[in-house]
Amino acid sequence: MKEKVLAILNGVKKGVDYEHATALIDDGILDSFDIISVVSDLNDEFDVDISADELEPENFNTVDAIVALIKSLQ
């Protein structure tokens, strides 16, 4: 799952060391437009429905947080 999440992130914005980044949102690496795309791709890839309530920075700051979010929804 982590590989797929990394592929989605790279498809949205290139040139980021996603594996080691710890504050993708807080540092402004991904902005609200990127997050819309990431959420849409995650929903399609993992057949989940990420709701507005889950659009919190802590759910998207790291790859592991994203993976955990998806697992919690599956």
Partner 1 sequence: MQNSIVQWLEKTAARFQDKIAFVDEKGSYTWAQVRQKALSIASNIEKVVPGRKKPVAVYMEKSADMVITFLGIAYSGNIYTAVAPDMPPSRVEKILDVLQPSIFISTRELCGKVGSGKDIVFSGEVLCFEDITGDDVSDPNAKRYADSTLDTDLLYVLFTSGSTGTPKGVAINHRSVIDYIDWVVEEFSVTENDSFGNQAPFHFDNSVLDIYSSLKTGAELHIIPEQMYHQAPQLLQYLVDNRISTIFWVPSALSQTARSKAFETVDLTRTLKRVLFAGEVMPTKLLNTWRSHIPNATYANLYGPTEITVDCTYYIVDREFSDEEPLPIGGPMRNTEVLVLDEQNRLVTEPDQVGELCVRGSSLAAGYYNNPEKTDEAFVQNPLQTAYEEKIYRTGDLVKYNDRHELIYMSRKDFQVKHLGHRIELGEIETAVSSLDGIGACCCLYNHRKSLIVLFVEGQFTRAEINEKLAELLPRYMLPSKVVCLDSLPLNANGKIDRVKLKQDYIS
Which chain residues interact with partner 1 by CB under 8 A? 10-14, 31-33, 36-37, 40-41
Nearer to partner 1, 52 or 74 (CB): 52
CB of 22 to partner 1, least distance (A): 21
Nearer to partner 1, 1 or 33 (CB): 33
In angstroms, the Cα distances linking 33 to 29, 73, 74 are 11, 22, 24
Whether the CB-CB separation of 57 and 25 falls below 8 Å is answered with yes
Cβ neighbourhood burial of 28 (10 Å; 0-12, 13-18, 19+): exposed
